[in-house]
């Protein structure tokens, strides 16, 4: 392990005693914030260029530091960098290595900044990429949903409320519902990109700095929109972290709901969809089994993502301004949520590519449970001019009769129907047709084939 002079932290000029062994071991964050090395080097480079531009350091020092930072980046990329967890975090590791590489001049890197603004800057840059990466994964899922939806416009299934047959729908309509959910998620992540866009660099520990720095320059160079406006708030604020964790949580809710839906549809009781072998696992004892483990994984892991949101909220609750060590945990929380959500999106995407609807079974199920009852009531409103409540009552009577005689609505004769409602003619029998029912829902956002086609087309154009 590489050591600095006495293998002591930089602040050991005043703090003479080492931390207790246990705290030394667990108080650092290197194993986690290592992941910020690129962003740390990027921000440091821009910081140093700004110091030079403002004549706070000279050309030679600036060049040396930037040379050193590039070399460190190379070492890390090539896995030649020796990390030292006694140096607490990634920022101190990089700074300490810079001293080894270029000597005393390395010390100029920390003029007019603190780790407090440094870490938030790195983190915001990292989160910008993370938000974009999640958006990319959502886009890819949406593409596959659209593909599947296009192929299943005419696939008819029961639409459920309370998990009971409600009214027939196109299977595409369900798929396009998922697309709506993911589009809202996408918007949340896009909004995050907007709110994360303020540059923390230059607020130093909490007060700002007496050096004549140019925060607008670093803002531009680091791709932010504007500098933050209050130095105390800047080092204490982790709202952008909560925004991200919340967005992850809502997206995870959606993934979990879809996973649960597919588990039910795939069950032997429903058999509405078949998962292909890529997305099932076997049982160690029951040879016949093909279990939807990946879907259960998606549903299960959702809890982690919620938990992380609550951890962060709890950390911030009751924390006075400004920086406290408590905040260090934000990275671990965000990284695990990001990894979890990204993996879940990839797995769900695989699910969308590897299942098929059992069209015959869907129709079979849709034909049970008096699923066209509402169509019958609507028919009476339209053709007999009944108020809806009266039509509802007459329909309920017809269903009671059918249920008692163990018949489907389509199996009733006109004689039987007329015993309950004399005004109906044989024209009414058409309303029991499932396809007709689906296609009659022409109101905007409804399940008619035309509506769905239009929706798919408009999304494809986007
Ligand atoms: N590793 C620390 C963190 O992530 C960096 C900031 C340290 N600042 C401080 N005042 N100790 O929060």
| pLDDT one-digit tens code per residue, 322-336 | 999 999 999 999 999
The answer to whether the CB of 242 falls within 8 A of the CB of 123 is no
CA 275 to centroid of ligand 1, rounded, Å: 47
Residue with CA at minimum distance from ligand 1 atom 11: 325
Looking at residue 278, its pLDDT comes to 86
* pLDDT above 50 for 286: yes
Q: Name the residue among 251, 365, 357, 245 with its Cα closest to residue 298.
A: 251
pLDDT digits (tens, 9 = 90+) for 56-112: 999 999 999 999 999 999 999 999 999 998 899 999 999 999 999 999 999 999 999
DSSP state of 18: P
pLDDT digits (tens, 9 = 90+) for 381-405: 999 999 999 999 999 999 999 999 9
* pLDDT above 80 for 13: no
The answer to whether the CB of 365 falls within 8 A of the CB of 408 is no
The answer to whether the CB of 85 falls within 8 A of the CB of 30 is yes
Q: Taking the mean position of all CA atoms in its chain, how far away is CA 207? A: 35
CA 235 to centroid of ligand 1, rounded, Å: 10
- Whole-number mean pLDDT of the chain? 94
Task: Give all strands (DSSP E) within 110-217, no chain letters.
Answer: 156-161, 164-170, 198-199
Residue with CA at minimum distance from ligand 1 atom 2: 328
Looking at residue 289, its pLDDT comes to 77
Nearest-atom number in ligand 1 for the CA of 205 is 10
Catalytic site residues? 162, 283
Nearest-atom number in ligand 1 for the CA of 330 is 4
CA-to-CA distance for 313 and 308, rounded, in angstroms? 9
Cis ω before 188 (30° cut-off from 0): no
Interval 118-131 mean pLDDT? 98
- Percent of the chain with pLDDT strictly greater than 90: 89
Helix (H), strand (E), coil (C) string for 23-35: HHHHCCCHHHHHH
Nearest-atom number in ligand 1 for the CA of 29 is 1
Nearest-atom number in ligand 1 for the CA of 89 is 1
DSSP state of 286: -
Fold of 10-111: Fumarase C; Chain B, domain 1 (1.10.275)
9, 23, 33, 115: residue to mutate for ligand 1 pocket, most atoms within 8 A of CB:
115
CATH no., domain 369-461: 1.10.40.30
Catalogue the long-range contacts made by 281-285 (C-beta closer than 8 Å, 24 or more residues apart).
none
Q: Name the residue among 101, 108, 334, 66 with its Cα closest to residue 221.
A: 66
CA 186 to centroid of ligand 1, rounded, Å: 31
Looking at residue 7, its pLDDT comes to 60
The answer to whether the CB of 222 falls within 8 A of the CB of 121 is yes
Looking at residue 6, its pLDDT comes to 54
User: What residue has token string 């416009």?
Assistant: 153
Which residues are paired to 157 by β-bridges?
A: 169
123-199+229-364 is classed CATH 3.40.50.720: no
The ranges of the chain annotated as CATH 1.10.40.30 are 369-461
93, 119, 121, 205: residue to mutate for ligand 1 pocket, most atoms within 8 A of CB:
119
The ranges of the chain annotated as CATH 1.10.275.10 are 10-111
CA-to-CA distance for 47 and 5, rounded, in angstroms? 26
């Amino acid at each position: 392990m590489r050591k600095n002079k006495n293998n002591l932290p930089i602040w050991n000029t005043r703090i003479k005693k080492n931390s207790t062994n246990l705290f030394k071991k667990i108080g650092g964050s290197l194993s986690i914030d290592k992941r910020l090395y690129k962003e740390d080097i990027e921000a440091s480079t821009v910081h140093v260029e700004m110091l030079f531009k403002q004549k706070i350091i000279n050309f030679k020092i600036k060049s040396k530091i930037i040379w050193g930072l590039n070399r460190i980046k190379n070492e890390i990329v090539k896995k030649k960098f020796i990390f030292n967890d006694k140096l607490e975090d990634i920022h101190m590791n990089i700074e300490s290595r810079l001293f080894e590489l270029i000597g005393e001049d390395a010390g100029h890197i920390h003029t007019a900044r603190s780790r407090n603004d440094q870490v938030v800057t790195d983190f915001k840059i990292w989160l910008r990429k993370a938000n974009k990466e999640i958006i990319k994964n959502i886009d890819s899922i949406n593409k596959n949903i659209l593909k599947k939806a296009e192929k299943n416009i005419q696939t008819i299934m029961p639409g459920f409320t309370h998990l009971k047959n409600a009214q027939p729908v196109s299977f595409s309509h369900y798929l396009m519902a998922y697309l709506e959910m993911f589009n809202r998620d996408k918007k949340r992540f896009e909004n995050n990109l907007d709110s994360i866009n303020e540059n923390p660099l230059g607020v130093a520990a909490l007060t700002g700095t007496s050096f004549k720095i140019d925060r607008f320059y670093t803002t531009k160079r680091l791709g932010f929109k504007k500098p933050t406006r209050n130095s105390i708030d800047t080092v204490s604020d982790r709202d952008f972290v909560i925004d991200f964790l919340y967005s992850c949580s809502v997206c995870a809710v959606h993934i979990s709901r879809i996973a649960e839906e597919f588990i039910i549809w795939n069950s032997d009781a429903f058999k509405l969809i078949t998962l292909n072998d890529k997305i099932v696992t076997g049982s160690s004892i029951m040879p016949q089994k093909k279990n939807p483990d990946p879907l259960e994984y998606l549903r299960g892991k959702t809890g982690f993502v919620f938990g992380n949101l609550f951890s962060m909220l709890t950390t911030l609750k009751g924390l006075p301004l400004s920086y406290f060590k408590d905040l260090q945990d934000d990275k671990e929380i965000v990284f695990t949520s990001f990894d979890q959500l990204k993996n879940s999106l990839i797995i769900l995407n695989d699910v969308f590519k590897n299942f098929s609807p059992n069209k015959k079974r869907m129709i079979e199920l849709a034909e049970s449970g008096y699923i066209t009852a509402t169509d019958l009531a609507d028919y009476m409103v339209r053709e007999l001019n009944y108020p809806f409540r009266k039509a509802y009552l007459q329909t309920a009577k017809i269903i009671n009769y059918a249920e008692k005689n163990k018949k489907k609505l389509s199996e009733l004769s006109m004689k039987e129907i007329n015993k309950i409602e004399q005004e109906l003619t044989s024209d009414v029998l058409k309303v029991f047709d499932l396809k007709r029912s689906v296609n009659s829902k022409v109101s905007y956002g409804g399940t008619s084939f035309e509506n769905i086609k239009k929706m798919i087309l408009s999304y494809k154009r986007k």
